[in-house]
Chain A
Amino acid sequence: MLSLGSGGAKSTKPSFVSYVTPEEIKAEKDPPKKEKHPDLLPGEVEFCSANPILKYSQDDLSQHGVFGTLFCTNFRVTFISDETPQEKTAKTFKNKLYGEKNDIPLMCVDHIYGVYDEKRKLITGGLVKNKYPSKMIIHCKDLRVFQFCLTFTKEEDAKKIFQGIAHHCLEEKSLKCVFAFSYMGTPSPGTDLSFCREMLRKQETIMFDSPEDWTQEMKRTKANCRLVIENKNFELSQRLPKYFVIPLAIGDLFSYQGKGLPIWCWSHYSGCALFKASFPPVTQEDGDFQKHLETMINAVAHNYLYSVKTEDLSESLPNIQDIQQSYNKFKQFFLIENSTDFWLSDVKWFSSLESSGWLDIIRQCLQKAVEVVECLEKDNTNVLITEEEGTDLCCVISSLAQIMLDPYYRTLMGFQSLVQKEWVAGCHAFLDRCNHLHQKDKECHSPVFLLFLECVWQLVQQHSPAFQFSETYLTVLSDSVHVPIFSTFLFNSAHHREGVMKAESPLAQSGPLSCPTVWDWSVQFDSKAQNFFYNPLYSEKVKHEKAVRKPHKPKHQRQLSLPSTAFKTPLKKGFFKDETDSLKKMLQVKRLSRWMGSPDSPAATTREFYESWQHRPVDYHGLLLPCLDGPAVRVWMQRYLRWIPEVYILGGGSVAMTTKLMELLSQVQDLKRVLEQRDTSQAAKIDHRPYIQHRLLSFGSSGRLSSSFPFAYTRNRSFKPIIPTGLMQRLMVTDSLASQEDEASSVASFV
């Protein structure tokens, strides 16, 4: 951001340029020297600071910037400008924990580069000790890029801050050092955990950490399965959820050693259901493995009409390392350091995207989810998806399938409950996958959860009216993964979470740890900002049950289309065993990892499935399928382009549309409320909010909101278009057409 000169003039002239010597700065700066400090969060401790540090503006190539102090705390790296802010920009969308502009939570730092004698080097452990760079470039996991010049400050300060930041952001550390364990943030009404939970209950995010939650969910989907409470103290396995649901036909739980148990995800109204499982334990004898597989499949088949289809996701989808590699390539296209880089990379944009393969991985996941949906919806067969651990791609595919099938998961609370069910309670290894602790072992890092959000975003952009939440919500959620405060993303499993949370934390003296879950959005945003989470175009069900105040929304919208089947009652153990051989013939089971009964490629049959669905009239509260053709799978512009000034559309972007709608709709609501209040009580001073309240959101008054809103703010940026540089060199039209005369009649002589 350019530092604007004093006075109201919209001067683009920078106040400071880098070629000014530090002495001059000193002289200039000395008189009003007043230490500025960041507003620390409760529990936040300042490690080190340095002044003056020049923060380069991102806007252009020139070496302009702002001087200020750089701090490193146990929560974040933060920069505070020496200049007094020109005006208090009333931000409608302010993160209460960290400002988007100059704060970087330590966990959000992706890479640090140092510029040594014009050469850019990736900072790793070894480099930290020797010399500090003249310029430090920080790439963030939320795709912001910061550039700090360290040459103006005292050498020891520069060294200290550089080493401090590098140490805290890059070195491997223990979980106890994560800020969440020092954070003493008190959720406004008090720290009482049960109270918080009560709050969450009211908001209807189901945590799936109690038997009741699971019973409710089974009831809602009319599942006929068995709730397992035997793992309450993790006796079965530490990799399994505390509570979970399995097919009725599973016999002895303990013979599974916690592996290869088919875990229920969701039941279709027809009675068939979706299950996921990790691989059975590998023993010496190959036969055991086979046998185990068969028991597993049979148990699932028993759930409904003896039919099952199985899919080994580790065989048909990219593995987590592929995903990690692809994302690493992909994100580079958005970590833009200056305009020249931007315009250079703009030319090869499409082929670069393709070469990263990220969009293709998204497509493959959606495709697989559609295949699962097809089995459940069209063929009414049970589905079992498997994978080594059963907590990565299984989570992606099962969650996506549920979103496509069940409109409840397209509401905000439903979506959060789904993430709880499949990911958090479902033991996705967030800590390892997100690499919060900077472990050296690269094998286990992978943005699997982000991949899931990406897939959801594709669905949201294709069928926006079907979703109660907005893309802003998804973007914020993807950022929150790297905010080291929420218990949601800090652990590898339910057992891990429980173990750490219960234990006395050495840093927090006050007994059990109480960090908020991410769903407590009030920790990050005030309620006004939270309005941006809702999609103004959501087509709510016409009949909304206002009166229903149950904690769970029991709206499985379709009625059972089939009478309850013969297998609703638990079968005798012996029966199944005796009948196995003949049953096997009945069962439509083949080998694991092969879709049954489809000689065509899965892509061809799902294509047909998609087309027949597409022909039906649109029902936003019914089945939802994504279009997977090339042009339909897009880049999540809001998340990836929000910090790049070159692509800001002033006064445009989808924000122009949503704010317009929000404005209109909230006006109506406001007026209604005003009238209601006036009707009910004639008390003089009721909350009378003027109609102009939402002006801030309106296109009309601000008019110059940028497309990056609500994330980056183009604060009083001079209203200038961004003109590409060096266009010509790239577009080389090689054939002779280019040199042909425009007036073709002189070349060709046709009638």
Chain B
Amino acid sequence: MEESGSVDSVESLSKDVTYICPFIGPVRGSLTVTNYRLFFRCTDREPVFGLDLPLGALSRAEKIGAATSRGDVSYGLVCKDMRNLRFVHKELEDSLKKSAFEVLMKFAFPVSNNMSLFAFEYKQVFPENGWKVYDPLAEYKRQGLPNESWRISKVNDHYELCDSYPAALFVPVTITDEELRRVFSFRAKGRIPVLSWIHPESQAAVVRASQPMVGQNGRRCKEDEKLLQAIMDANAQSHKLFIFDARPSVNAAANKMKGGGYESEDAYQNAELVFLDIHNIHVMRESLRKLKEVVYPNIEESHWLSNLESTHWLEHIKLILAGALRIADKVESGKTSVVVHCSDGWDRTPQLTSLALIMLDSHYRTIRGFQILLEKEWLSFGHRFQQRVGHGDRNHTDADRSPIFLQFIDCVWQMTRQFPAAFEFNEYFLITILDHLYSCLFGTFLCNSEQQRLKEEVPKRTVSLWSFVNSQLEEFVNPLYVHYPSHVLFPTVGIRHLQLWVTYYIRWNPRMRPQEPVHQRYKELLAKRAELQKRVEELQREAANRTASSSSERAGSPTRSITPVQTFV
């Protein structure tokens, strides 16, 4: 990667390494390991074969078998980005020097080795500071907040009540901070119901939370009930409130054993509880594991479809999108406020709220708007990126890992497929985000919460992914984008219209790669569009001049066919 070229330092260089490529067979070349990436090159082949991988993408690295009689060692690397790599090389005679594998283990898992992540070393300067992209107050102001019904509360200013929530919280004006404090103790991990988004016209609000600590005895909390009533009252259009519990009802009920649970309709008057049947992080992790088995390295042609079905991956995507659709529908069509929660409110909840927000608010479909959405719904509200991704941690069996964020990006991709002109960004933008979710080059996705990031001084000591992205926006622009200010998108969630994201999940398979990279084509299209638009403008100007000079009457003329239009793209 060029942007790191000046910074990362070569730690190990081994010649005569064989990369066992599952697609083209063994390739001999040289393997370089730096403190940031792994780099394999073979110059004997035509075309030159290269492999470049940030070490952050490694989930697991291990030697396979013992050294053979010929002194070859073999090791396999399992990556977070849907591929596995295998290298074979001669064991070094000189045992004093560290082997490439040891170097790899050291820098791939710095956290396990008490070292800091590469993001803290990376000092590239970009024209824009991406850490400034999200200013919570500015974002809420865009939504028209605070207003007569909603106020900002400073109760969590120093993260003392909830360490996984942001400092700035929007709550109904009728609820005092004192009452809020009591709600903190009633909601799991102190994640109380706070506003996420408000409809500019109907004032219907999207509110997020964690599960109420109802328990087996059906505990109640007057303040929590009052808070939800206040949320409902803040919206004059509806006398109802919908509570969306992302979990399957069985799981929600099972949570009562552990002190959690869900809102009873007795305690919460006028509230309707809906379960969205989305499964937990473990099910999702397993589903992705199966998917990887099906797509990497080879696809079994004759059973491709049933194999894909057996992973349930697209079915989970469908359930998440369907859930978000129901939320968006209640807010838009029903003009009703909604509360969304799962167990802790940091996995399924941000999936649902951020997808619903993308459907409801066209701002979040712009490049910067999407960045704000991620910063707000995922980062500031404490999606546990460190735990879910396991940055620099060698413990690949950690049950806290789960592809929740990937799943969300997949859902966004599904929407971009269904609405090709509604998003300002292209597919390459989404893939770039995912690649840097793992790369540990940027500080954006480090740590578990806003509080932790501040403690670690992440914004000060690392570069934001948005600095990089916003310095070369043209790479990420969808040329077909049309901006419609208040345009709600309701995607179709039937499996028939969902597709496997081949260009992400199967991108390592050279046969599935398009002949020209998609973003390349996008760029060409973009240039084409600019050219065409310039031409249109010129011609229009000219035409206007002529019309002005010659007396023009605009008689309704018969519409004749135009000749087929073609481009020379």
Contacts and interface: CB of A to CB of B under 8 A. Distances in A.
Interface of A: 342-343, 346-351, 353-354, 359-360, 363, 465, 468, 526-528, 530-531, 533-534, 536-540, 542, 607, 610-611, 614-615, 617-618, 627-632, 635, 637, 641, 646-654, 656-657, 660-662, 664-672, 674-675, 678, 682, 685, 687-691, 693, 699-700, 703, 707, 719-724, 727-728, 730-731, 733, 735, 737-745, 747-748, 750-751
Given A652-B418, A739-B254, A731 B315 contact: yes
Contacts of A751: 395
* Size class of the B contact interface (CB-based, 8 Å): 35 or more
21 contacts: A349-B495, A468-B566, A531-B561, A534-B566, A630-B301, A632-B502, A649-B497, A654-B420, A660-B421, A664-B532, A664-B536, A667-B536, A669-B563, A699-B482, A720-B329, A722-B493, A724-B493, A728-B277, A731-B319, A733-B312, A747-B399
Interface string B542-558: 11001000101011011
B258 A629 contact: no
B132 to A, nearest CB: 33
A691 B109 CA distance: 61
B532 A668 contact: yes
Given A721-B325, A723-B325, A748 B398 contact: yes
Given A629-B301, A665-B532, A669-B565, A657 B420 contact: yes
A354 B301 CA distance: 10
B569 A537 contact: yes
Interface stretch (B34-42, B63-71, B302-310): B302-310
A660 B333 contact: no
Contact of B511 (A611, A648, A674, A693): A611
A671 B543 contact: yes
B539 interface: yes
Contact of A675 (B399, B495, B496, B542): B542
Which among B283, B342, B565 has the greatest number of chain A C-beta atoms within 10 A?
A: B565
Nearest to B558: A687
B281 A682 contact: no
A281 B419 CA distance: 57
A678 B516 CA distance: 41
B511 A703 contact: no
Nearest to B306: A351
Interface stretch (B14-22, B152-160, B225-233, B483-491): B483-491
A668 B566 CA distance: 11
B96 interface: no
Interface in B481-523: 482, 484, 487-497, 500, 502, 506, 509-513, 515-516
Which of A628, A652, A691: most chain B Cβ within 10 A? A652
Given A631-B304, A737-B282, A738-B251, A652 B400 contact: no
A661 B418 CA distance: 16
B280 A740 contact: yes
A468 B303 CA distance: 34
B254 A350 contact: no
B91 interface: no
Interface in B433-476: none
Given A675-B546, A748-B399, 14 more contacts: A349-B496, A350-B314, A627-B511, A649-B418, A657-B421, A664-B536, A690-B557, A721-B328, A723-B325, A727-B277, A737-B279, A739-B251, A742-B281, A744-B281
B329 A649 contact: no
A652 B359 CA distance: 13
Contacts of B496: 346, 349, 635, 637, 641, 647
Contacts of A346: 494-496
A26 B279 CA distance: 54
A564 B84 CA distance: 51
Given A630-B305, A689-B557, A742 B347 contact: yes
Contacts of A359: 305
Contact of A744 (B322, B400, B421, B422): B400
B292 to A, nearest CB: 14
Given A350-B305, A536-B567, A610 B560 contact: no
A528 B305 contact: no
Contacts of B493: 722-724
5 nearest interchain CB pairs? Answer: A630-B304, A527-B561, A721-B490, A744-B399, A671-B539
A630 B306 CA distance: 11
A649 B492 contact: yes
A678 B539 CA distance: 12
B419 A652 contact: yes
B495 A688 contact: no
Given A720-B329, A723-B325, A740-B280, A350 B306 contact: yes
B1 interface: no
A705 to B, nearest CB: 11
Contacts of B280: 737-738, 740-742
B47 interface: yes
A220 to B, nearest CB: 22
Nearest to B111: A751
A501 to B, nearest CB: 30
B535 interface: yes
A539 B419 CA distance: 24
Give the dominant DSSP class at B's interface: loop
Given A721-B329, A731-B319, A739-B254, A465 B569 contact: yes
Nearest to B565: A665
A706 to B, nearest CB: 10
A359 B550 CA distance: 60
Contacts of B301: 363, 628-630
Contacts of A651: 419, 422, 487, 489
A689 to B, nearest CB: 6
Nearest to A632: B512
Nearest to A731: B315
Interface string B270-300: 0000010101111100100000000000011
B482 A660 contact: yes
Given A531-B562, A629-B511, A360 B420 contact: no
A741 B536 CA distance: 59
Nearest to A465: B569
Contacts of B282: 737-738, 740, 744
Contacts of B250: 739
Contact of B421 (A637, A699, A720, A723): A699
Contacts of A539: 566-569
B74 interface: no
Given A465-B569, A743-B343, A611 B554 contact: no
Nearest to A533: B564
A700 B484 CA distance: 8
B326 interface: yes
A407 B299 CA distance: 31
Contact of B322 (A530, A661, A724): A724
Contact of A649 (B47, B419, B562, B567): B419
Given A610-B511, A745-B400, A354 B319 contact: no
B59 to A, nearest CB: 14
Nearest to B540: A671
Q: Which of A348, A354, A672, A742 counts the most B-chain CB atoms under 10 A from its CB?
A: A742
Given A528-B559, A688-B555, A721-B490, A727 B565 contact: no
Contacts of A542: 568
B344 interface: yes
Contacts of B283: 733, 737-738
A745 B343 CA distance: 14
B239 interface: no
A728 B248 contact: yes
A723 B326 contact: yes
Contact of B562 (A343, A656, A670, A678): A670
A700 B487 CA distance: 11
B121 to A, nearest CB: 24
Nearest to A628: B301
Contact of A534 (B495, B510, B564): B564
A255 to B, nearest CB: 44
A348 B496 CA distance: 10
